[in-house]
Amino acid sequence: MMGDAKGLRESYCWTDERTKLLIDIGLECTHKGQKLNTNFTKEGWTWILEEYNKKCGKKVNMLQLKNKWMVLKQIWNAWMYLKNKTSWWGWNMDIRIVDPPTKEHWDDYVKKHPQGKHFKNAPLQYEEELQELFQGFVADGEGTICTSEIEPRPITPKVISASNI
C-alpha cells in the first residue's frame, strides 16, 4: 500500500494484458474524437477510466491511469529516438532490436532514455497501436507560450515524419 493525499491506496500491477487493454481503450477514445493534440479531453480521460475499470474488473484511479499513459509515451519516445536518431547503429531486422556500435553508445542512450533500456533485447510491444496514439506530436519548443506574454502565439501541431526529424 502507498500513501497519498487521500489516504492509502493499493499499488497496481500493469501486466501486458492490462497495458494492451488500456492502449485499445485509448485508441477507441481517440477514434471517438476525445483527444486534443497530444492529450485526451477531461471527458475522454473520464471515459477511459470508466471503460478500463469496467472491462478489467479491477479498479484503478485516475492518477494510476495517467501515470501509466505517461510511461507509454516515454517508451514510445525512446523507441522513436532509436529508430530515427541512430540509423547508423546496427539493427537486427529479424528480431527488431538495436545493435549499438559500443557499450558507451548504449549507456549514453539509456541515460537519456531510461524507459528504453530493454530495447537492446526486445522490440517495442504494440508498436502500431502506439504509433497511432502518439505519432505526429513531439515537444520541440516551438509554439510554447511564456506566461508573461499578453497575446499567446497560436500553436500549430507539426506532423513528424522520417524526413523532417
With beta carbons less than 8 A apart as the criterion, state whether 160 and 135 touch: yes
Q: Report pLDDT for 144.
A: 41
pLDDT less than 70: residues of the chain: 1-10, 136-165
Q: Find all residues with CB under 8 Å of 43, minimum gap 6, and list them.
A: 34
Amino acid letter, 109: Y
Q: Find all residues with CB under 8 Å of 121, minimum gap 6, and list them.
A: 97
Determine the Cα–Cα distance for residues 13 and 119; give it in Å rounded to an integer. Answer: 21
Determine the Cα–Cα distance for residues 75 and 27; give it in Å rounded to an integer. Answer: 17
With beta carbons less than 8 A apart as the criterion, state whether 30 and 133 touch: yes
pTM beyond 0.85: the answer is no
User: Which DSSP symbol is given to 93?
Assistant: T
